[in-house]
Amino acid sequence: MRRPGFTLIELLVVIAIIAILIALLLPAVQQAREAARRTQCRNNLKQLGLALHNYHDNFNQFPISGGVSTTTPANIARAWVAGDHRKGSVLVKLLPFIDQAPLYGKIDFNLDVHTGNNLTIVQKTMMPAFVCPSESSGGRNPNDGVALSCYSPSVGAQRMINCAAYPGNTFGWAGGEPFTNSGSAVSGLFAMEAWAASIRDITDGTSNTIAVGEIRPMCSDHTNRGWWDTAALWAATTGPINFKTCDKTGDQAEPACDGQGDRATAIAFKSQHTGGAHFLLADGSVRFISENIDYLSYQKLGDRRDGQPVGEF
């Protein structure tokens, strides 16, 4: 008497059903994981928002984006030259306000943050609060192990550009990058040198002004230097959200160029979230802004004092 069992056809049917269920469930699992990553990313930015406002409450201004103790009297712009002491990025100044006072206390600000024992302390120290879980680099430069940040202060739009070609390969630039001006002339909340904004400088309203946004640290020759680097974390609304600059060869704007070295586009805010990126506004709220936002409206969000209505975003 034959024992009851599966026939080959029945076995194939069962395998097919299992394969179909996996195919149906896998996208749902991936979406759930990405939703969790987005939530963590938002929370990271909210914590930075609290830190920025606590800093402002203590010092009546937001932290300087960079800054040096210059030993050169003629160095009015406070740009770094040999012999000066670089003070580190905005994120370095925020360490005491994100429960990292012990790390902050180890840094000797009488010396250059980029050299000696200071560099040893910060260079490869991973800060989970500065890393978006969706970032493929994991928050570390694979070439040298330097710890990175997925969030950058905004220097604004500086010169607003109306480009009908966005976001194609014929992206034309009619104006300068945000580094054209320094100090209070910069339209964003943060400048390259020893100028610091306060709430009173945000005349467009804190809910209409970007303070910090997402970046992809390995998609720029500037942001891949580290979360602590004085010259690394300057991003701008001049370039469109998620403008592609990750390829070392073949710039989206100019195929013959190195996309990571093009300041006009490489300093644009970008993320690995589909459809846009998260931004911390100056009022402490976090918004996910679509990469399809009206381009001029987006640039206005980067400007703290243009006096122009932004509309819905």
- β-pair partners for 226: none
Strands 210-214 and 151-153: antiparallel
Structure tokens at 309: 């209505």
Name 213's Cβ contacts closer than 8 Å, sequence gap at least 6.
151, 152, 154, 235, 269, 277, 278, 279, 280
pTM over 0.85: no
pLDDT in tens, the chain (313 residues): 556 666 777 778 888 888 888 887 777 777 778 888 999 999 999 999 999 999 999 999 999 876 655 444 444 444 444 445 678 899 999 999 999 999 999 998 888 888 889 889 999 999 999 999 999 888 999 988 999 999 999 988 865 544 443 343 333 443 344 444 455 667 889 876 667 889 999 999 999 999 999 999 998 887 888 999 887 888 888 888 998 877 765 545 444 444 455 566 778 899 999 999 999 999 999 999 999 998 888 988 999 988 888 878 8
Instruction: Report how far residue 116's alpha carbon sits from residue 246's, in angstroms, rounded to the nearest whole number.
Output: 31
Closest among 236, 303, 296 to 311, alpha carbons compared: 296
- Spatial contact of 278 and 216, defined as CB atoms under 8 Å apart: no
- Spatial contact of 262 and 251, defined as CB atoms under 8 Å apart: yes
∠ at Cα 302 (296, 306), nearest 5°?
75
Q: How far is CA 286 from CA 107, 157, 209, 275, in A?
A: 30, 19, 11, 16
Identify the sign of the CA torsion 233, 234, 239, 240. positive
Instruction: Report how far residue 268's alpha carbon sits from residue 70's, in angstroms, rounded to the nearest whole number.
Output: 29
- Spatial contact of 139 and 150, defined as CB atoms under 8 Å apart: yes
